[in-house]
Amino acid sequence: MERRYNVRGILTNFRPIAVLSPAIWITGSSQSGKTTRLIELFCEWTPLLATFPNPPGGSKKRKPRLNPESVATTTLIFAANGDNRIALVERLTATPQGQYSFYSTTPLGFFQDEVILFWPLLVEKLGLKALFPLRLRPETEQELALELWSHDLEISRLRRPGVSVNRMVRQILDVLQLAALSVISIEDIPQILEQGFLPTGDTETPYQQIGELLKQWQKWCLERGLLTFGIIADLYGQHLLHHPTYQKHLLRRYPVVLADDVDEYPALARHLFEFFLDQGKMAAFTYNPDGAVRLGLGADPNALMSLQERCRGETLDRQSGLGKQMAQPILDLVLENAIAFPDSLLFSANIQSIQTVSRADLLRQTAEQIIASVKTGQVQPDEIALIAPGLDAIARYTLREILNHAGIAVDSMHQTHPLVASPIIRALLTLIALVYPGNGRLVHRDEIAQMLV
């Protein structure tokens, strides 16, 4: 029988197949445009997936199904911390491609969500009780661990002079979290601790006891369905990430992975990214060679750096402001503990020194210099940062009044003055002393005057 094909219908429903870019490794210093480049890749790659939060078209509402294969895929986007994640989400949603579905998270947040979401797999694999998992706050974690280890710590050789029991418990729990983020099992913790300290010659070292305490703590928590950041990272790195069922769902859900500032990520994130790269998924990473702010707090930039060999590299060098000319001399000044400014800073045309005989003249000349730069068009007001450590209320008021009188708005950021320095707070404290007499110190008449004005 001869078959006839509707060529017009085939061409209408045909979707072009694009040759997807390989994984990209973006290197650059701060303010070099790494995040902007990551957003550009999001706008370029995400439309190829055509995943909307709500499927467009069709007025009929389909009945939801439980078939996992029908769940739409989405783009997985990582940020180093919660603040960066919020800022990145705002920039992504402002793009025309922000209508497409994406899931933004942090490494620790992702590990936690995945462990809770796929908790039944862990229950089945580890033979745990089918209890709903509950994450403990660090304060509760420390209190429960102290109660569990109280007897062992009384006779333990871990006690050190000058170190409280609470601090010692916190340090032991932190060891578990750091090891889990480095994909190190609890069994290997004593050996690693012994390598980092001088041998004592004893058959039983205190580091072996640390391993036993951590095993006891993990077993006690899992029996009750309690999770901490350390236990979550250990479960994800040692068990969940290697589970075949989880890997299948992970690949189906996230065909594209974007990670910003991977120099702040733990080594466990590298294993996750390597899994995506092994499966040929689209990925892009940004890396700051001068970053690693969280080094020692879980970040492992050297481990993440190994991903560069599997990616196509891009280097960005678009430093803005004085960073390109002044960054290296300032770093040399700080690292070398120099007494005097180096010649590259002292005789630079980009740096001007204002010297006065009084503090009032210094504030006035500083404000006048800012006003002159704005009026001549050399700089915009929102491009000026006035850094003044220890600036008191009088100096802050003086600068604000002079600049506001010239039509330049001032916004104080990261003020470190105490709460009582606020006039509103002082007025409330004075009012409380009047309403509830005999409940504190006496009120001075000047405080009454400040409250009234």
Name all contacts of 53-58 with Cβ < 8 Å and 24+ positions apart: 53/99, 53/100, 53/101
CA–CA dist 307, 286 (Å, integer): 11
For residue range 264-284, list pLDDT tens digits in order. 999 999 999 999 999 989 999
Beta-bridged to residue 313, according to DSSP, are 25
Give the per-residue pLDDT at 56.
Answer: 43
pTM of the model: 0.71
Question: 447 exposed, middle or buried (CB, 10 Å; 0-12, 13-18, 19+)?
Answer: middle
pLDDT, tens only, 222-249? 999 999 999 999 999 999 999 999 999 9
pLDDT digits (tens, 9 = 90+) for 391-448: 777 888 899 999 999 999 988 876 666 788 788 888 888 888 888 877 767 788 888 8
Strand partners of residue 77: 104, 258
Q: In the predicted model, is pLDDT for residue 22 greater than 70?
A: yes
pLDDT of residue 393: 77
Tens of pLDDT, residue by residue over 274-332, are 999 999 899 999 999 888 888 878 889 999 999 999 999 898 876 556 666 676 777 77
| Cβ atoms of residues 93 and 41 within 8 Å | no
- ∠102-239-287 over CA atoms, to 5°? 45
Mean pLDDT of 89-118: 90
pLDDT value of residue 320: 59
